Each structure stands twice: as structure tokens, then as C-alpha cells.
Amino acid sequence: MLVKLKQFSVGGNRPLSLRCPACRKTGTFQTIENVHDLRTGDIFLGQRFCPDPSCRAQVFCVYDLQSNVVKSYPPQRIDFDSKAIPATIVKTFEEALSCQAEGMHVAAAIMIRRTLEELCQDKGATGANLKARVNTLQSSVVLPQGLLAAMDDLRLLGNDAAHIEAQTYDAIGQDELEVAIELTKEILKAVYQLDDLLGRLRALKKT
């Protein structure tokens, strides 16, 4: 979004609801004391900081008359707990989140598909293509049926993103991507984090 500051005044200075790009918690971001926002037409520009005292990250915001944030820098990123997930998979999925935060939906969908590829590889699921590998994965990990079906949808979404002739999805928008990211998080949680949690619970029982 390009804002041209032809005529401006000071004003706004409203608290804004944001997901912090640094600590990724959602909070009400406040203005910096004695620093005014700028107004140009129906758009405000201003600096905010994260309310978490241990974070205090600075974010530049563009927002409208209803205090809806239309753009922020660094961009807001979806929260992701990477605990117990292999580093290569975390790196790929983080890249998907970065693309989504920057509005690069096609690139994000491709990186989500790659996250699935790497998950299959890590779990030793083999096959001629990703569809076959996802099927093989069922024998090595325990996943609810719904999440297995979701993996196939995510595979197709990434497929569409990578190949212009394949058009299962007409366009990959913000909504499709947010759902795809949430599903990928649930899959990663079920494959890696549930075992980790059970292991910790069992370790506690021994003592």
C-alpha cells in the first residue's frame, strides 16, 4: 500500500489491536509519548509499541477512521509454536508465514506444500509423488482422519500455486491461506508436539 502525503495534519493517536511481529502475541499497541500520528485523508500513520514489557517491539502502522490496521511494518505474523518440530521443517514453514505476512499468497502456498514434503521425508514416507507419500504417511503417524483429508487439500493448494494449468482453487486469497496455515499447524502439532507432550507427562509419572 502506497500512501502519498500530499496534505496532512496531526491526529489519531488511537490504541491499535495488533499481533506483534516480534513476540507474536496479540495486544493493544499504544502510542509513544509526545509522538503524534499523521493524518492524510481518511488514513492515519503512526508508530506503536508492543504492550508486553519484555518485548516492546516498535511497529509502524497505517490505519483507517475505524482504527482498522490496513498495513503495518514489520508485518503481523501468525503465531507458531515450533517446539519439538525438526529445524528444516520449521525453517520452511516460517518462510510460508513470512510470505503470508507480506501478502505473497502463491509463494506461501508453495512453501506450505514444501512443509508437507519435508514432513513426509522426515517420517520416511515414500512414494512416486506427494499424494502417494501422504498416503504412506498414514502407516507411520497417527493422525485424525480430518487432518489426513486436510493434507490432501493443502497438497492441492500448493499444486495450484506451483502450476498455472492446475486450477482446483481459482485464486489463493488471504482466507484460504489463513485456513491452510492453521491446518498445517494442527498437522505439525499432531505429528510432533503431541508425542513430545506425552513424553513429558510420562517422564513426570516416573518421578
List residues near Zn ion by CB under 5 A: 20, 22-23, 50, 52, 55, 57
Q: Is 37 exposed, middle or buried (0-12, 13-18, 19+ CB in 10 A)?
A: buried
Nearest approach in angstroms of CB 18 to Zn ion is: 9
Nearest approach in angstroms of CB 25 to Zn ion is: 6
Nearest approach in angstroms of CB 30 to Zn ion is: 12
Nearest approach in angstroms of CB 74 to Zn ion is: 11
Tell me if the bond preceding 86 is cis, omega within 30° of 0.
Answer: no
Question: Taking each helix axis from N to C terminus, what angle separates 174-188 and 145-162, rounded to the nearest 10 degrees?
Answer: 130
Residue among 30 and 40 whose Cβ is closer to Zn ion: 30
Residue among 57 and 107 whose Cβ is closer to Zn ion: 57
Indicate if the alpha-carbon torsion angle 25, 31, 33, 35 is positive or negative: positive
Residue among 25 and 200 whose Cβ is closer to Zn ion: 25
* Cα distances (angstroms) measured from residue 163 to each of 75, 151, 160: 28, 18, 5
Q: Which three cell numbers stand for residue 51?
A: 504492550
Residue among 52 and 195 whose Cβ is closer to Zn ion: 52
